[in-house]
Structure 1
Amino acid sequence: MIGRPVASWVRFSLGLDLCASAGRSWLAAVQLLLTGLDTEHSLVRDSASYREQLELLVIDSLLRAQWHDHSDELHEERPPVRPRTVKRVVDALERAPEEPWSLPQMAQVAAVSTRRLQQGFREHLGMSPSVYLRTLRLDRVHRDLLAGADSVTDVAYRWGFTHLGRFAVAYRERFGQAPSETLRHGTG
């Protein structure tokens, strides 16, 4: 919830105000869980995934309702975390941007439809998955050219660009110069 692992116990202050809005919300979550556990053939008793979701609700609402040693960090404004579907694909693309990724393959990694994957990328990264991949590849090419590695053609092919004309146009749009200029001036 705070964007990083917590290595120690969470220390709560004593006394949760159950009359305050946050305290009432936590109590309602606990009562929902307890009612389900007390009722025969309820979703809580019959469905482990439903029970786990309610347990997470109880924990989440407690962490938000009661002051603890991470409260300040929890309540500070931060950019939203990318959803797991987008993160899975971003991680896979960053591990192997040179692979010939197709949109269906990316969607398979995320375990969502291609349409949902595209929506997620637009919502959270402001671009489509293919634009993200092209940008990632261009950045890798740029890094290699600055280091003076190989020829422009070899570097472009290494990072998955198969159409050199489109590659050169995209490179110039991103970096404001031709790839050969970057190679020529990179190490100097």
Structure 2
Amino acid sequence: MANQQPKGDTTDQAIDAFEGAVAGAAAAAPQPGAAAGESNGGLASVAQIVELADQLSACADQLHERIVRDIRAYEGNAVPAKVQAAARALLEDELLLRQRANGLYADAATYVVKSLGKSQQGVVALTTAAAEKIRKIALIGDITGLVAGLLHLAGAAATGQAASVITALDKIHTQLKAIETHRAPAPKPA
């Protein structure tokens, strides 16, 4: 497991890539008579499914590191029950995320999503931004929502249904935008 840290915040780039992919989704919709072997979109090959599984595993790694860091912040003092409950729930989500990523690795050939209408670059940029947000995020509630979106994506990829994957990507995108608003400075009164 290589521990690669992106330089700078990539959220804006990921959101831009995602929005570009959404804008192009209608144009990339399957055309009648299109060749069955074409795979221009994201998650359209075994290698792309494996790449998604790699990204989901990286998100699980960041989630684990974040949970451990938050618990260690108490420096041996009692951890409040609310924090313990949140940490336990997130550890369960981490395990589920790893299981789903492992399932994608194991069955990648059967999970190819036909005609997703989103680029692989957009999918990877979004999951990379999610991993970075998990590492840096301030509000534990934001982590929970982001992890829920990643779990939804992992499950949706396993269905092979483009509509489910798009819904999951939209959920992650929405959560990333919500996180950005939490850290944006308050507007100054006029």
Shorter-chain TM-score range: under 0.3
Which of structures 1 and 2 has the bigger CA Rg? Answer: 1
TM-score for the superposition, normalised by structure 1: 0.25
- RCO greater where, 1 or 2, for CA within 8 Å and sep 6 or more? 2
